[in-house]
Amino acid sequence: MFQKSKILVFMGSFLVVLYGASAAFYGKEPYKELGLFMDVLHRVWNDYVEVPDMNNAHEGAMRGLMDALDPYSSFLTKAQYEDLQKRKESGPAGAGMVLSKRSEVLYVVSCDRNGPAAEAGVRPGDYLIAVNGQPVEDKNLLEVDSLLRGQAGSKAKVTLFRGSRTKTMDLEVTLRSPSATPVGSRMLDGNVGLLTVFSLNSPAVEQAKVKLKTLISAGAGKLILDLRDCADGTPADGAELANFFMRTGVIYFSRNRKGEKVQVVEAVPEKFITDLPLAALIDGSTGGAAEITAGALQDQKRAAIVGEKSFGIGSSQKTIQLKSGAMLILTTTKFCTPSGKIIQDESLRKPGIVPDFKAPDDDRRQELAVESYYDDQDDTKYKGIQEKIEKIQLDKALEILSKESVPIKKAA
């Protein structure tokens, strides 16, 4: 039986290699390296120290293929997809953090302000190693996100690695539903209205509209839009928020692999609210929908963008069901700002929105980085440093708004 299986695998490999070779000869690029892959597979079958489980090998190859593309493309076997759906149905509560990948490791992009993860001591920049003792290094973002969801009040133990530590750390997160008030507002000195968007998940945009109108009614003559630590929501949410400050013009567009524009989203005049002078705050935990907002306001010269470069999340995925019942989640378009900048670039140096005014400057940021690096588990000190950074950024925005020469134009 073993010899028969071996012959079948060899014949199958031979046929696939033959097809790959002929495809490559006729110019079908995806098949040029298939011969190498099948050669490795044949060697594993013949020479590996134990009889390999070829199903596991194939699934691992598929996962590796997806991992080589971008953080948001993934492959799920039929069983994995069914497990994921069951976990989704277990409850709507979550940990209150947005994850991505950097250098193939799960990375905490942002934590909801006063959310479960933040309260437990999780910080943006932490690397997620395990959930409830289960390693996540080989799991995709969809799987890990589902592990961090469940009934409100249930617990999740997260194992993290932080740059200032030599060992991993375990924290217990109590899951709960997202905040019902993801938008805050207040008046600052000088009749400057501050609109803070903690999240762009529903019902944030509607709340932002109401609070923005309230600030204007209260006498705000200038505005600051705070998008720091905001990394969730849909592109439509980000576009609608930008639309409040833009009467006309492109907000963002998506492009396919050929570089063609497949969707162009423009401001709707009826959704426009105000043309008051505007500054927007961003940081390394600004991502997704908030980046669409910031990118549109920057490119259309509607606002001065202040702070630090945003994270860089901006793509849409297509779900494809395969014959085996497995699911392929494949990134098919990327979002661009009106000038054509790709928000999500897989090069570590290029993604995100670069602010017009960097705050803190490089020297001050270095001082604060050294100060925070050795704080270890001292959350009080960490929060104090973060408050310093936030104040520097807010003060810079106020300084910019106070100057008449700042290049901020009114919406057309």
* Domain, as residue range, for 352: 183-402
243 and 316 share a domain?
Answer: yes
106 Cβ partners below 8 Å, 6+ apart?
99, 100, 127, 128, 129, 136, 137, 141, 144
Give me 173's structure tokens. Answer: 């997160």
The verdict on residue 341 lying in a domain is yes
* CA dihedral sign of residues 252, 255, 260, 264: negative
The verdict on residue 165 lying in a domain is yes
> What is the CATH number for 103?
2.30.42.10
Tell me the backbone φ, ψ of residue 369, rounded to 5 degrees. Answer: -65, -45
Task: Report the distance separating Cα 166 and Cα 94, nearest Å.
Answer: 28
Reduced to 3 states (helix: H, G, I; strand: E, B; else coil), residue 313 is coil
249 and 389 share a domain?
Answer: yes
The verdict on residue 265 lying in a domain is yes
Q: What's the distance, Cα to Cα, between the start and end of the chain in Å? A: 76
The verdict on residue 411 lying in a domain is no
Q: What is the DSSP string of 233-247?
A: S-HHHHHHHHHTT-S
Pick from 47, 76, 105: which residue ends a domain? 76
pTM: 0.85
312 and 193 share a domain?
Answer: yes
pLDDT value of position 168:
93
204 and 149 share a domain?
Answer: no
Task: Report the distance separating Cα 364 and Cα 368, nearest Å.
Answer: 6
pLDDT value of position 1:
43
The verdict on residue 328 lying in a domain is yes
pLDDT value of position 376:
54
What amino acid is encoded at 122 in this protein?
V
The verdict on residue 410 lying in a domain is no
128, 157 contact by CB (below 8 A):
no
DSSP class of residue 296?
A: H
> What is the CATH number for 283?
3.90.226.10
268 and 390 share a domain?
Answer: yes
Task: Report the distance separating Cα 72 and Cα 101, nearest Å.
Answer: 9
Tens-digit pLDDT string for the chain (412 aa): 444 444 334 444 444 444 444 444 444 555 566 677 777 777 877 887 887 787 777 777 777 788 788 889 998 888 888 888 887 777 779 999 999 988 779 999 999 988 999 999 999 999 999 999 999 988 899 999 999 999 999 999 999 999 767 799 999 999 998 887 899 999 999 999 999 999 998 799 999 999 999 999 999 999 999 999 999 999 999 999 999 999 999 999 999 999 899 999 999 999 999 999 999 999 999 999 999 999 999 999 999 999 999 999 999 999 999 888 889 999 999 999 999 999 998 776 678 999 999 999 888 877 777 676 665 556 778 888 889 999 999 999 999 999 854 445 443 3
- Bridge partners (DSSP) listed for residue 138: none
248, 269 contact by CB (below 8 A):
yes
CA-based R_g, the chain, Å: 24
Pick from 174, 194, 227: which residue ends a domain? 174
24, containing H or E segment: helix 2-25
214 and 327 share a domain?
Answer: yes
- The whole-angstrom distance between residue 390's C-alpha and the CA centroid of its chain comes to 21
The count of domains in the chain is: 3
CB atoms within 10 A of CB 250: 19
Task: Report the distance separating Cα 195 and Cα 175, nearest Å.
Answer: 27
26 and 124 share a domain?
Answer: no
The verdict on residue 412 lying in a domain is no
197 and 248 share a domain?
Answer: yes
* Average confidence score pLDDT of the chain: 86
Q: What is the DSSP string of 71-116?
A: TT-EEE-HHHHHHHHHHHTT-SEE--EEEEEETTEEEEEEE-TTSH
pLDDT value of position 242:
98
CB atoms within 10 A of CB 201: 17
24 and 115 share a domain?
Answer: no
pLDDT value of position 375:
57
The verdict on residue 408 lying in a domain is no
Task: Report the distance separating Cα 194 and Cα 215, nearest Å.
Answer: 8
Task: Report the distance separating Cα 143 and Cα 135, nearest Å.
Answer: 12
239 and 290 share a domain?
Answer: yes
314 and 301 share a domain?
Answer: yes
Pick from 133, 156, 174: which residue ends a domain? 174
Task: Report the distance separating Cα 217 and Cα 149, nearest Å.
Answer: 40
Task: Report the distance separating Cα 48 and Cα 41, nearest Å.
Answer: 10
DSSP class of residue 163?
A: T
What's the helix, strand, coil split of the chain in %, to 5? 35, 25, 40
194 and 287 share a domain?
Answer: yes
The pairing of beta strand 304-307 with beta strand 357-358: parallel
